[in-house]
Homo-oligomer: A and B are copies of this chain.
Amino acid sequence: MKQTLPKLVDVARIAGVSTATVSRVLNDPSVVSESTRNAVLEAVKKTGYRVNRAARNLRTNTSKTILALVPNISNPFFSNILSGLERELSAADYNLLLSDSGDGPMTTEQIQGFVAAGHADGLIVLDGSIALSDLEDTQAVFPNCPIVFVCEWVHGFKGHSVRSDNAGGIRVLVDHLWELGHRRFGHLAGPSSNILSHERREAFEARLSELKGEVRPDWIVQCDFSIAGGLSAAEVVKDLKDGPTAWICASDQLAFGLISGLTRAGQRVPLEISVTGFDNIEMAEVFNPPLTTIHQHRNKLGHKAARCLLDQIAQTSDTSDGDVHTLPVFLVARESTGPVFQA
């Protein structure tokens, strides 16, 4: 019953050639004459031969595998990026190995363990909480294993990085609300450890300053990026006297939580308070009220990162250090924002 799989040598025997020739037909067909090539291909078909990846990997010292480090796979935002990644990689005949970095940042040990274990040809990192030194150690030990960041990134890291125009998005949101007459702005920021939180918060403060608006530190609330974060922020925020008339949230999920909490507390969005999100996840359109937010091209982020990594693998020259690819974003104005409330 346990019929062993056909091997290269079986194909060679049937085709009446050497293993070297079979291998050449598979890897570089042009160097083999047409007649032998056809004979070999026929033998391949007849035997149903498939290359043993382990053997090839051992010999060529590659794995045709890319490892993705994700802080939390179950986050729908990441899954969209993975989808883009997977599509691009599988088109290039690469496999996608997935690893959830779980709670807390990963250590050098873990990263290198993963690389060595999966023998990955490259790393896609969606987790900006990794220490710079760990990354540099990894690069030192595996100089031929390029690392590309998507969405998040790490300051000072020399390597490619693909991200959305976070600051631009926030700026557009502030402007949108400003034009609607809002002057008192609040911000639900992401966790302080997160680079996107910083980026968005800074952009928020900067744009507000440019417009000569008031930046009130007590109107900047730090939460995690989840719905629950938004809900608990609402508890704090709902009782503010003369509080913000507009809240800019660092993610759609935060915005959902906030709106939900405010609504329960009897406040009307957008009539009394305007709220914006960031990401434009699918839900934003059907939420009640439909959410004004910033659209990120998540699939494209994944695509681009994959391309970027594959390019680096292809060209052995690693001269290209530190390109930052920033993808544009755009405002999707829906009904969670409106003119400032006239009592």
Contact = CB atoms under 8 A, between A and B. Distances in A.
Q: Within the oligomer, what is the number of copies of this chain? A: 2
A314 interface: no
A58 B54 contact: yes
A171 to B, nearest CB: 27
A70 B20 CA distance: 37
What is the interface residue range for chain A against chain B? 35 or more
Interface stretch (A25-33, A34-42, A73-81, A203-211): A73-81
Contacts of A102: 87
A136 to B, nearest CB: 14
Contact of A260 (B64, B98, B286): B286
A102 B256 CA distance: 30
Given A97-B97, A99-B96, A287-B287, A282 B227 contact: yes
A181 interface: no
Contacts of A65: 97
Contact of A288 (B119, B253, B288): B288
Contacts of A148: none
A307 interface: no
A118 interface: yes
Contacts of A288: 259-260, 263, 287-288
A95 interface: yes
Given A76-B76, A83-B72, A98 B100 contact: no
A117 interface: yes
Interface in A259-276: 259-260, 263
Nearest to A55: B58
Contacts of A95: 97, 99, 117-118
Given A53-B117, A54-B61, A227-B286, 15 more contacts: A48-B141, A50-B117, A54-B63, A73-B79, A74-B83, A76-B76, A79-B82, A87-B100, A87-B102, A96-B97, A227-B283, A230-B286, A259-B286, A260-B285, A260-B290
16 contacts: A1-B143, A50-B113, A53-B116, A53-B117, A53-B119, A54-B57, A72-B83, A73-B83, A74-B80, A74-B299, A76-B79, A86-B98, A86-B99, A97-B98, A259-B286, A260-B290
Interface of A: 1-2, 5, 48, 50-55, 57-58, 61, 63-65, 72-76, 78-80, 82-83, 86-87, 90, 95-100, 102, 112-113, 116-119, 141, 143-144, 226-227, 230-231, 253, 256-257, 259-260, 263, 282-283, 285-288, 290, 299
